[in-house]
Amino acid sequence: MKEEEKKYILDQLDKVDDIGEISDGYHTFNSLYNQRLYLFAALVNAYPDKAWKTKRHDDGELCFGGGWFLVGITTPAGNYTYHYELKHWGLFHCNVLDKAPEFDGHTDKDVTRVMGLQPVKHPRWVDFNKKSPKCSEIDDESDYCIVIDQDGYMNVATYNCLDGVWYTSEGSIVHVSLWLDYPVQMIKD
């Protein structure tokens, strides 16, 4: 740290009653913590199946004796967590646990763990006249997907690459205009 930066921070300490209002010249600590809160909430809400929140640490004790909670996201490299005041509980839409998973010792240096999260695939409508689905190497058919036929009705169908025809699960042909680029799990007998 340069001497002028040290002097700037020391001068601020004399002027500020709340350490959270100390600034680096651009942002206060309070501002940066607030940004972290909302950015982590967005990440957790994007991966709700991998995220969790709890009012208790792994030993069953309330976080900081109460009034706080722990929110985490499970990545391929392990969990990454933050503590927040209970007033922010509603920002995080994820699983609620009785107590936290066992702490693995991660620190702020392990924030790169979140880079291992895989993007969530969001469905999109595709014009069948412009693009057909990819076909499986096993059965020459695509996965089942939701389609809209030429009359505007919605159905579930699979595309047969060999004959270039869409079939419903009952085996009837459907003339597709749009298909949803997102596979549908079909229950088979």
What residues does 141 pair with on adjacent strands?
160
Per-residue confidence (pLDDT) for residue 175, from 0 to 100: 93
Per-residue confidence (pLDDT) for residue 153, from 0 to 100: 87
Say how far apart CA 126 and CA 181 lie, in whole Å: 7
Q: How many residues does the chain have?
A: 189
Per-residue confidence (pLDDT) for residue 162, from 0 to 100: 85
**Cβ partners under 8 Å of residue 178, min gap 6:** 125, 126, 127, 128, 147, 148
Per-residue pLDDT of the chain (189 residues; tens, 9 = 90+): 688 877 777 776 666 667 777 777 788 878 888 999 999 999 999 999 999 999 999 999 999 999 999 999 999 999 999 999 999 999 999 999 999 999 999 999 999 999 999 876 667 888 888 888 877 655 566 677 888 989 888 888 888 888 888 988 788 899 999 988 766 654 443
Beta strands in the chain (DSSP E): 51-54, 68-75, 78-85, 95-96, 125-127, 145-149, 154-160, 165-168, 173-174, 176-180
Grouping H, G, I as helix, E, B as strand and the rest as coil, residue 4 is helix
Per-residue confidence (pLDDT) for residue 10, from 0 to 100: 72
Per-residue confidence (pLDDT) for residue 41, from 0 to 100: 94
**Cβ partners under 8 Å of residue 68, min gap 6:** 55, 62, 83, 84, 85, 86
Per-residue confidence (pLDDT) for residue 86, from 0 to 100: 94
